[in-house]
Amino acid sequence: MFRFDQSRINKLIGALAVAAAVAGSCAMLSVETARARATDAADAAKYDCDRACLQQISDSYFDALAQHNPAAAPFASGAKYSETGRVMKIGEGLWRQAGKSTYRMEIFDPETGGIGIDAVVPDGDVPTIVALRLKVENHKITEAESILVRGDDPAVFHAPEKLVEVPRYYTRKIRPAEQNSRYELSAAADAYFRAFQTEGTPDYIRAPLLPSTLRFENGVQATNVDLKVHKATTAAEQFDNAMFKGTKVYDRRYPVVDLETGVVLALVRFHGPNNPPAGATNSRGDAFVAEFFAVEQGKIMQIQATWIQPPSQLPTPF
């Protein structure tokens, strides 16, 4: 009489279950791989705009701005626009009476469709520093986020007349073999804000700064030069001396990373301490800050910053 070997049957059933599980996993993996490839293909199409393409879009934006004609710029349907925290209709604000830009420093991030710009644009007859981030998808501008510092605003120091020639760190081309990665560039900028946040505490970690690192704020040199509020100090010494102790840094973003020039744009907010540093006040809202970090081999070589405190507290628009 034929007799069943239960142990063998159990092993066979187990083997079949494993095979079924593996087959199911492979099927799921195939689906996920297909989805990932579809996403990659969609992203590749969405961000199919190289440096020359992004430069052309930037040119079109500023030409349209000077003409007070948003229709002349390649805005996408439903594009979002803001000025120093206030979301506006495209065509309002600076668009009403802007003139032709007299200065433009630009960085490009083809991988994510990002453009970072620091410019001087006359608002009527008032020279205005404009830090601008453009987001480009499918050759259209989907986001335009700006910070404006008018030359007649007594709430902050500024020197738009000094923004004439773009510093060499922002126009150089770094050989591919010497370029920092996207992560390394963002990490250098983030380390700067970590030092900012921890200075004067036991947790302080120094930023990757050099004695020669210069920082400019709204066109004004703020390091390595005598100022009304303090003697010449390096950027590193300012942190070492806890000059900005108590300032809270929040909503940090690094939306534009230019690998070719080694520059990363950081957009952050500053909440001042009870005793704010020179140039800041507690009677206005938290500052909107754009800082362009020029990085070389992990070290910050120069910083170009545009910042201002709005008259009242406003949320970060993006």
As a whole number, mean pLDDT of residues 227-244 equals: 93
User: Which helix (DSSP H) or strand (DSSP E) does residue 264 occupy?
Assistant: strand 263-271
Angle value at C-alpha 216, between 210 and 219, nearest 5 degrees:
160
Alpha carbon of residue 189 to chain centroid: 10
Distance of CA 6 to the CA centre of its chain: 66
The stretch 222-240 carries a mean pLDDT of: 93
276-290: average pLDDT: 81
Q: What is the C-alpha separation between 160 and 150, in angstroms, rounded?
A: 9
Q: What average pLDDT does the chain have?
A: 90
Percentage of residues of the chain with pLDDT beyond 70: 85
Mean pLDDT, to the nearest integer, of 166-178?
96
pLDDT computed for residue 105 by the predictor: 98
- Where are the chain's structural domains? 10-46, 51-160, 169-308
Residue scoring higher pLDDT (45 or 100):
100
Q: What does DSSP assign to residue 223?
A: S
- pLDDT over 70 (residue 249): yes
Average pLDDT estimate for 188-200? 97
pLDDT at residue 273 in the model: 84
Tokens representing 259? 């690998």
Q: Residue 247 is encoded by which pair of tokens?
A: 């300032």
> Taking a C-beta distance cutoff of 8 angstroms, is the pair 49, 131 a contact?
no
pLDDT tens-digit readout, 116-167: 999 999 999 999 999 999 999 999 999 999 999 999 998 899 999 999 999 9
In single-letter form, the type of residue at position 305 comes to A
Amino acid at 233: T
pLDDT in tens, 266-278: 999 999 887 666 6
Asked if 185 and 264 touch (Cβ cutoff 8 Å), the reply is yes
| CA–CA distance, 263 with 274 (Å, rounded to integer) | 33
What would the DSSP string read from start to end of 121-164?
A: EEETTEEEEEEEEEEEETTEEEEEEEEEEETT-TTS---GGG--
Closest CA to 221 of 209, 207, 210, 235: 235
Q: Which of 303, 304, 266 is nearest to 288 (CA)?
A: 266
> Rounded to a whole number, what is the distance in angstroms from the first to the last CA of the chain?
78
What's the CATH number for 51-160? Answer: 3.10.450.50
What is the pLDDT, as a whole number, of residue 187?
98
What are the φ and ψ backbone dihedral angles of 77, each rounded to 5 degrees?
A: -65, 130
Q: What is the pLDDT of residues 34-76, one digit of tens each?
A: 454 445 556 777 999 999 999 999 999 999 999 999 999 999 9
Q: Compute the CA torsion angle 179, 169, 187, 57 (nearest 10 deg).
A: -90
Per-residue pLDDT reduced to its tens digit, 75-85: 999 999 999 99
Coil, helix or strand at residue 207: coil
> What is the reported pLDDT for 207?
98
Q: What pLDDT, on the 0 to 100 scale, is given for residue 89?
A: 98
Nearest Cα neighbor of 105 from 120, 83, 84, 95 is 120
Query: Which string of b and e fits 233-246 if b means at least 16 CB within 10 Å?
Result: bbbbebbbeebbbb
Q: What's the confidence (pLDDT) of residue 43?
A: 73
Q: Are 185 and 257 in contact (CB under 8 A)?
A: yes
Rounded to two decimals, the pTM is 0.86
**pLDDT (0 to 100) of residue 158:** 95
Is the confidence at residue 280, as pLDDT, over 90? no
Q: Tell me whether domains 51-160 and 169-308 share a fold.
A: yes
Does the structure show a pLDDT above 70 at 314?
yes
pLDDT at 41: 57
CATH number of 169-308: 3.10.450.50
